[in-house]
Chains A and B, each alone.
Chain A
Amino acid sequence: MKGGTAGPCLRLQSVSVHYGERVAVNDLSLSVDPGEFVALTGPNGSGKTTVLRAVLGFHDPAQGSIELFGRPTADLSARERALKVAWVPQTESPRDNVRLYDYVLYGRFPFHGPLDAETQEDHAVVRRVLKEVGLADRSEDGVLSLSGGERQRAILARALAQSTPLLLLDEPTTHLDIGHQLDLLDRVRSLSRTRRVAVVAALHDLNLAARFADRIVVLSHGRRVADGTPSGVLSEELLARVWGVVADLELDRRTGLPYLVPRELSVDRPRSPTSPFVGPVHVVGGGGAATPILRALADEGYRLTAGVLHLLDSDQETAASLALPTALESPFAPIGPKARSQNRLLLEAARAIVVAPFAVGPSNLANLEDVRPFVPRVPTFLFRTPPIQERDFCDGRGEVAWRDLVAAGATEVDGFDGMSEGLGRLFSSPPATPPAARVAPAS
């Protein structure tokens, strides 16, 4: 309703906030436009809550400036600030069993001097926001009698009663079940749309952030590391880098929005000298020959792709269980042009190729042949045990394709150790080696 002024609602310029020695927010610049729904996200301790608290004046920035609608927050009184920005904390514990209606009416505080009575407008606003959060029928009840979900909506109503053009939410869904999480954020988003209220929500749930926010700002160690639309920002690489989590990024077919399926921890428990997420390494296989290789490489922390694998094939099942991007073909069918072009895309992206000792038949000969053009560019490792002659079931054409690969520069290895060693050398550039490994030689 308000805040039709041009320019951003909120602007942070090179803001740093310190807690004693610790730098909670580090040189952060950020600008939020009217009506925008920004999700501020990042791991615990990344500074997202601190940013909100700095805007609210609970912390003074050590450096930089924070402006609300063009006015430095340092110049605003608590009352002036409360007319521009409202806050929905993670939780609120009222001491007394205040009537919900009166509780929401507290939100009208900045509109009154000490001797003013409540106006008709105050009551109209309170009734409207109670309806908007779906609590109109509970207005006579005491706040302590509300359920967790209702309590959170009551807090939202109190904040909305301030009628501010900017709303800050600090992990508002932490104490809510999934249904109430969706309900609350859905209400916030539709209010932000209908009333053009800008929203900045600290959310640690990336899927909720992707679902509701126009824009996601990712913080790590108090710095902004990503900023953009959900589809532009969310990536497996970001998850790994910022959260230390291996996750798969999927697309919700219905909404077209990305969502993440977390798989496991990556950084907190490195399982091999190999730094995680190097790769991708493309594994060519079939019939179960690639399964031990895929498992071993996944355990060593490589990012993997696979193909072309037939559906229901045991290698395909392994690839699926590891959630690897895989070029697929229908069961028992010859590898067709579509699967081959998918496979070529994965090969294109690969930083190394491993060819498992699979049985080569007419239906999958293309798997060997398609590797050939990439060999000069991409280091390729061929498992030669058992030898190709013993597993070539297409009249020597498999053996020909194999020799082509070797001639082009592919490395033949005898087993896992050879492959690991080869890949290890390949990816032993500094970022790929954890600090411990780098320190070791000095002793």
Chain B
Amino acid sequence: MAEDPRRPTSWLLGRASLGLLLAVASILVLVISPLLGSVAIPARDVFQILLHELSGGALFAQPCAGTPTSPRLCGAYTVIVWQLLLPEIVLALIVGAALGVSGGALQGIFRNPLADPFLLGISSGGTIGAAVLYVYRIEVAEADVYLPLFAFLGSVATGLVILGIARGRFSSVETLLLAGVALANLLSAILSVILLYNPNGSVQVTFWLLGGLGLATWTVDGIAFGAVVVLGSLLVLNGRELNLIQLGSEVAQSAGVDSRRVRLRVILLASMTTAVAVAFTGIIGFVGLVSPHIVRRLAGSDYRVVLPGAALVGAVFLLGARDISFLAFPGSDLPIGIFTAFAGVPFFLYLLYRQRRAVTMGGA
């Protein structure tokens, strides 16, 4: 009783500060993202170009006017900002959202806070898909089309194998998780073999393994956006079911949740959402793992909130990781997957530390 007045306060403070941090980070990330890229462009030009393009030419009819930038250079800047930078930023947001929402859904369905879109080997499957294309040089001329397609198919195929395991009458979520991890390792081994015997493809495949936004175009963004919105919405509709599944699949079943069907549905949707991300950006780790945790800390564990929340946080998180990569190594275009881990791991450890302390304090 004595600690009651204290507990909600500290809890509220914890939430408020974290929420504030997130809001500030979001705005910051959205504002500075267009300024960062492999080519340094003056900020004023960037915003003028952006506003010019976004308003359909109504604003800043002559971008770069009043800046030292020559009209010719401004034309190049426009192409860079509008055709390269912005699609990349939008793709980061879309992929981050996809990874966040599928991470949240998988953590829910496996009742395991360490579940992650990549844990089950979905990404390894995608990489193999891409590697096969690279290594065997199938239709290299149209790599932009076939590469994502192969990666997508590889991921989905892996997802289907996991679903096949999940369909087994007696497979528990624990069995399924273990099977997924085993499958991921097997696929990594297969990938290693492919690369070992085909060293000529290994550079491009490494890009896949480390993840990057280099394939971004407005077309890619359009496809990714459509797919992620549809798949993500379908995932979010399972929030109520996921809430009950946290009590155990049998309790959920007794309360009216068709646990098995929900499990199949969520794994399929999450696999496909992840597959879309892998198809265009390769393996970007940690976003799917961290984002749901941040939302849970902020807004509680109602999956109807966790899933859309994880999409938002994932979007900001991935874009933020991209920004940090350019801030840390200006002008270079390092694989973004490296930076999600650099940014994510310390933050994740901090969250765990906070959570532990909260449990100790509230543990009456």
Contact = CB atoms under 8 A, between A and B. Distances in A.
Contacts, number: 75
Contact of A106 (B244, B258, B362, B364): B244
Contacts of A429: none
Contacts of B364: 145
Contact of A162 (B238, B247, B255, B296): B255
Nearest to A82: B256
Nearest to A98: B301
Interface in B253-278: 253-259
Contacts of B296: 96
B253 A57 contact: yes
Nearest to A111: B256
A87 interface: yes
A208 interface: no
Contact of B246 (A83, A86, A95, A145): A95
Given A78-B258, A82-B255, A109-B256, A58 B250 contact: yes
Interface string B233-254: 0000110110110111011011
B253 A106 contact: no
Contacts of B301: 95-98
B247 A106 contact: yes
B111 interface: yes
A320 to B, nearest CB: 48
A134 to B, nearest CB: 18
A6 interface: no
A317 interface: no
Interface string B295-319: 0100011100000000000000000
Interface string A85-118: 1110100111111110010001101101011000
B111 A95 contact: yes
Given A92-B248, A96-B301, A102-B302, A110 B255 contact: yes
Given A96-B246, A102-B302, A115-B237, A83 B256 contact: yes
Interface residues of B, number: 25
Given A77-B258, A106-B244, A92 B251 contact: yes
A66 to B, nearest CB: 15
A109 B255 contact: yes
Given A96-B301, A112-B240, A145-B364, A106 B255 contact: yes
Contacts of A85: 254
Interface in B107-128: 111
B45 to A, nearest CB: 46
A112 B244 CA distance: 13
Contacts of B253: 56-58, 78
B361 to A, nearest CB: 12
B237 A82 contact: no
A158 interface: yes
A347 to B, nearest CB: 55
A92 B250 CA distance: 10
B258 A87 contact: no
B248 A107 contact: no
Interface string A144-161: 010000000000001100
A115 B236 CA distance: 10
B107 to A, nearest CB: 10
Contact of B257 (A78, A86, A95): A78
A81 B252 CA distance: 12
Nearest to A162: B255
A79 interface: yes
A106 B248 contact: no
A85 B255 CA distance: 9
Interface of A: 56-58, 77-79, 81-83, 85-87, 89, 92-99, 102, 106-107, 109-110, 112, 114-115, 145, 158-159, 162
Nearest 5 interchain pairs by C-beta: A82-B256, A110-B256, A96-B301, A87-B254, A78-B258
